[in-house]
Structure 1
Amino acid sequence: MRAIRTRRTTRLLAALTVAALSALGLTAAPAGAADTPPPGANNWACKPDSAHPHPVVLVNGTFKTSYENWLTLSPELAAAGHCVFSFEYGDLETAPIPDSAAELRDFVNAVLGATGAKKVDIVGHSQGGMMPRYYVKFLGGATKVDDLVGIVPSNHGTTNPLALVAGATLCPSCVDQTAGSEFLQKLNADPEAPVGPDYTAIATRYDEVVLPHTSAFLDGPASYVTDVLLQDRCPLDLTEHDQAPKSPLVEQWVLNALDRRGPADPAFVPRCASTG
């Protein structure tokens, strides 16, 4: 009888997870995709040049593989001259975020060892834009990260009630990303943006996952923290949470942040899709 109940509970949890992901606009990638890096990534023979001295580590969001998350941006960064790397972590990003941050630390060390670089740039989506801050703040990353660019990052979590549903289905990182969680209170205790990296946080008004969308933003000195709302420059842009890493507008902001000293230029004027 106990075995039957266990099977029923497992099926119920799986169904709830699928329902929660669908409602959030998120889908898990097909089996086997986790073994495939996105185009342009993980050339371990790549050596940074003087124009692009820091290899770029891409950190995907919850329930995503790096291939799915970075299918568009990774080859664009490589074509622009960056050495690009990506990895899978945290049981499809569901593990407790401190554990995933430790995996990021180890991967960054491997990238630095292979490339000979002194620092990396990190570009992350959703959880992947927030989780590296734990690495920076608590695991020694402050001296190893030059730029941290968060694409719709869950920096202050979300008030979306479906995050709690996902959390109930054996997703500790979903609980961590719930607004007001013990994890986020620790992460966002002053200072939110410790000295070390330059921080760029990119948000969209039409984010349906990180709610409110302003919870993506970071508090810190303008000298090394830039908060970007896509619609401030391109009012007709309709980018949502899941599509943000594939947005040409987001790509422009990412490259602006990576290719200059400091975070993204708040005065940067990108090309809006609506105007060509």
Structure 2
Amino acid sequence: MRHRFGLSLLTLVIALLGALVVVATPTTYAAAAPGLPPLPTSPEGDPPGANDWDCVPSAERPTPVILVHGTIGDRKHLLERLSRSISREGFCVFSLDYGNRGLNDIRRSAKQLKRYTKRVLEATGADQVSMVGHSQGGMMPRYFIKRLGGRSLVDDLIGIAPSNHGTALTDGSNPISALVGSLVDLVCRACVQQGAGSPFLTRLNRGDETPGKVSYTQITTRYDEVVVPHTSGYLAKGRRTTNITIQDVCPLALPEHLTIPLATPTIDIVLDALERRGPASKSVSPRCL
């Protein structure tokens, strides 16, 4: 069964890369990995309400919010509802493209996030940012926090279907999945790094999984077909950590990996985390629409 998942993942990566190169014709490109041409990012610009570099945080909403896309994503798609909802609540919202659509080595992508964070802080005059990330975008900021000095710069980290402990789809635990992993590595270094038990994740999760005074919220779905099992998105329990599976609060909710950032319960949990001290409430009651 697992090798079939691995082959499906490889097919998906290759198909998406081909579609991006052949179909899209934007003027903006992400930073390319060695051996890969720059891949096109969103030709439609920024998500609603994001990247107003003249935005001044208010006393009520002093912390800008950075949206961080997932693997093969970009700063706009799948993040539109989040961006609109967060900006409507009075936050300054920013969103970046990184890592040649998140395919590059995650450590390099985290360095890009560090530079972007400093740019946001300089533009807004804020002391800290909060981050809301989907998939790799929920995990990669942890490298910035833990290894690149980000723990003093990040107030909240909210991961939506985050790959915190990787996925069994690319864990290389048998010869076929190992071969698939080697092939995937040619086009998506970050995919292999997100395999369960990868050297990258082993080092990232060694010791304290939630360092600093950052508040950590993880939102998962039982129907996740990419981060498998979905509970691998959880982080170690603690007073600054909240782990929520959407179906535990909205039993009939059906979002899977790609649609979870668009889901109303997800957005409500994100706003709860951003608008209160600490992570999202463990007793949060989102709208189950």
TM-score by length of 2: 0.84
What is aligned with 2:12?
20
* Deviates most, 201-210 or 65-74: 65-74
Q: Secondary structure at the match of 2:72?
A: coil
Aligned to 2:235: 218
Distance 1:209 1:42, change over 3 A: same
- The one-letter amino acid of 1:171's match is C
Q: 2:30 maps to which residue?
A: none
Q: CA RMSD in A?
A: 2.2
Distance 1:42 1:166 in 2: 36
Residue 114 of structure 2 corresponds to which residue in structure 1? 105
- Using the alignment, how far apart are the partners of 1:23 and 1:215 within structure 2? 26
The Cα shift of 1:71 comes to: 1.6
> Is 1:30 the equivalent of 2:46?
no
Name the SS for the 1:240 alignment partner.
coil
Query: Which residue of 1 is the match for residue 200 of structure 2?
Result: 183
2:247 matched to which residue of 1? Answer: 231
In the alignment, which residue of structure 2 is the partner of 1:172?
189
- What are the superposed Cα offsets for residues 202-251 of structure 1, whole Å, 9 maximum, x if unpaired? 00000000000000000031x20000110111111111000011111100
Does the alignment pair 1:204 with 2:213? no
Give the aligned residue type for 1:34.
Answer: S
8 Å Cα contact 2:9/2:169 also seen in 1: no
Distance in 2, Cα, partners of 1:205 & 1:59: 22
Identity %: 45
Query: Secondary structure in 1 aligned to 2:76?
Result: helix
Aligned length: 256
5+ residue gaps, structure 1, are: 1-15
SS in 2 for 1:34: coil
CA contact (8 A) 1:61 1:69 kept: no
Indicate the residue corresponding to 1:12 in structure 2.
Answer: none
For 1:170 and 1:22, locate their aligned partners in 2 and report how far apart those are by CA, in whole Å: 8
- 1:22 & 1:200 partners in 2: Cα distance? 32
Deviation (angstroms), 1:199? 0.2
Unaligned runs of 5+ in 2: 1-7, 27-40, 171-176
Counterparts of 1:171 and 1:23, CA distance in 2: 13
Is 1:250 the counterpart of 2:266 in the alignment? yes
2:143 is aligned with 1:134: yes
Task: Give, in whole Å, the separation in 1 of the partners of 2:186 and 2:235.
Answer: 29
Q: Cα offset for 1:51?
A: 1.3
Q: Which of 119, 128, 132 does residue 128 from structure 2 map onto?
A: 119
The answer for the alignment partner of 1:42 in structure 2 is 51
Contact 1:123–1:149 at 8 Å: present in 2 too?
yes
Work out whether residues 61 and 128 of structure 1, in 8 Å CA contact, stay in contact via their aligned partners in 2: yes
Tell me if structure 2 keeps the 8 A contact 1:166–1:174. no
Structure 2 counterparts to residues 67-78 of structure 1, below 5 A = 67-78=76-87
- 2:91 maps to 1:82: yes
Q: Is the 8 A contact 2:152 2:212 kept in 1?
A: no
Q: Distance in 1 between matches of 2:25 and 2:275?
A: 35
Look up the equivalent residue of 2:191 and give its one-letter code.
Answer: C
Q: Deviations over 1:29-85 (max 9, x none)?
A: 934243511111000000111111100000000001111131221111111111000
Distance 1:21 1:168 in 2: 11
In the alignment, the residues of structure 1 paired with residue 9 and residue 230 of structure 2 have an alpha-carbon distance, to the nearest angstrom, of 23
Q: Which one-letter code corresponds to 2:24 in the other structure?
A: P
Offset, 1:166 = 6.7
Alignment CA distance shift 1:150-1:235 (3 Å): same
Runs of 4+ aligned structure 1 residues displaced above 6 Å come to none
Structure 2 residue aligned with 1:194, among 181, 194, 211?
211
Measure how far apart 1:149 and its partner are.
Answer: 0.2
SS at match of 2:187: coil
Cα contact 1:153–1:201 (8 A) shared by 2: yes
Which secondary structure state, in structure 1, belongs to the residue aligned with residue 223 of structure 2?
Answer: coil
